[in-house]
Amino acid sequence: MTSFNNYPNMTGQSELTYNWGQPLSVWGGATWLVDTSGVDVWEDSNDSGVYEAGVDEPGPFDVVAAADTGTGRIVAYGDNAISDATLTWTNNDVFFRNLLRWVTENSNP
C-alpha cells in the first residue's frame, strides 16, 4: 500500500506491505494513517477466496489508524502478523519506527 496520511508526521516510508490483514472502522477522534486506495482489494465476506459483486465489500479500506487522547497515544493496525520477517518487506521497518517514535514521543523514560 502506498496511500499514507501524513498524520502524525509519518515520513520516509513509501510502501507498507500487509499480509492477511483486516480493514478498520476509523471513527471518533482517530485518524487513518494508511488506506488501500489504488490497490485492488476487497473484503472476502464469505471466505470464498474470490471477489463476488454484491457479496464482498470492495475497497478502499483504512488499515492503520492512530489517536491521541491527550493522556496517551494509540495505534491500531489491522493485522496480527507483525514480525521480524514483515519488517523486512519493502520499507515496513521505516513505517514501524515512525509509529513507535510517535507513540513514545511524550512518554516518561
User: Which residues of the chain form contacts with Ca ion (CB under 5 A)?
Assistant: 44, 46, 48, 52, 56
Identify which of residues 43 and 105 has a Cβ nearer to Ca ion in the complex.
Answer: 43
Identify which of residues 48 and 88 has a Cβ nearer to Ca ion in the complex.
Answer: 48
CA distances from 62 to 21, 65, 92, 107 (A): 11, 7, 17, 27
User: CB of 26: closest distance to Ca ion in angstroms?
Assistant: 23
User: CB of 45: closest distance to Ca ion in angstroms?
Assistant: 6
User: CB of 55: closest distance to Ca ion in angstroms?
Assistant: 6
Identify which of residues 48 and 106 has a Cβ nearer to Ca ion in the complex.
Answer: 48
What single-letter amino acid sits at 35?
Answer: D
CA distances from 108 to 10, 80, 105 (A): 22, 27, 9
* Positive or negative: CA dihedral 100, 105, 27, 15: negative
User: CB of 41: closest distance to Ca ion in angstroms?
Assistant: 12
Identify which of residues 55 and 82 has a Cβ nearer to Ca ion in the complex.
Answer: 55
Grid coordinates standing for 80? 496480527
Grid coordinates standing for 62? 483504512
